[in-house]
Amino acid sequence: MNSEFELIDLFKNIGSEYYKDNGIIISPGDDCAVFKSNKPIVTSIDASVEGVHFPKNANPSDIAYRSIAVALSDIAAMACRPLAFSLSVTVPHNEHDWFEGFLEGTKKISDEYRISLIGGDLTSGPLNINVVVYGSPFSEKILTRSGAQPGDIICISSQVGKASKGLKDWKNNIDSSFIDSYLRPKAKIELGKEISLIANACIDTSDGLLADLKKMLNASRCGADVYIDNIPITSDINDLNAGDD
């Protein structure tokens, strides 16, 4: 058993080696963290709830990694570089082993993307994770969902339904390569940077291809012709709206 402050103390130095690169001036431990950037700051928030976004018996390391990764995907979709993140964790217990696992997943993704944890909160209640991510654009061009134009080609970056297939296999105790697509999704930061050179618009499709395409079309005031036979769909899923959340 640990006190709230002892548990918070476990996390306070995650990503501290990246403070200078990420512009962190005042680190966690004060009432607020402070960081600076010569470029605009982009920010997004994502909630992950037990039984909705991850199963009730999920490993805490996977919960941490996945919760942060899906938030970082919004940064990637706008052709931006992640700098830092904040965590708000509501959990029904204060078991040290659970937090050690959650710490491992948080540290792993921090190191993978070289991002700094700059704040957080811990409270008691049903398990859910809220992640706020901060970033800055690689260039002056920020991709938005409202920039699509008539004549643009609609592209996706991977098979539709890989994460859904992974969750299905995981629940059925089937060992498959798709499980990592669900438990350890990758935020495609470098891809966002590359496509910003040619793309007019972009959107994260974690809510499902058709649902998110509709959001982009509405924001851009455009229509679309969708050729279903040309879309790579994961076998055993066959659902164009299979999301990754």
Return the domain boundaries, the chain. Answer: 4-137, 162-230
Beta-carbon contacts of residue 24 (< 8 Å; ≥ 6 apart):
18, 33, 34, 35, 84, 116, 118
Asked if the 4-137 domain carries CATH number 3.30.1330.10, the reply is yes
- What are the pLDDT digits (tens) for 55-64? 888 999 999 9
Span 117-136, average pLDDT:
94
Distances (CA, A) of 144 to 44, 74, 84: 13, 10, 21
**How many Å is the Cα radius of gyration of the chain?**
19
| Angle formed at CA 43 by CA 42 and CA 44, multiple of 5 degrees | 140
Q: Is the pLDDT at 242 greater than 60, yes or no? A: no
Q: Strands 116-124 and 80-91: what pairing?
A: parallel
Q: Is the pLDDT at 2 greater than 80, yes or no? A: no
- Nearest to 224, CA basis, from 144, 141, 143, 156: 156
Count CB atoms within 10 A of the CB of residue 150.
Answer: 9
State phi, psi for 85 to the nearest 5 degrees. Answer: -150, 155
- What are the pLDDT digits (tens) for 192-211? 999 999 999 999 988 888 88
pTM score, two decimals? 0.91
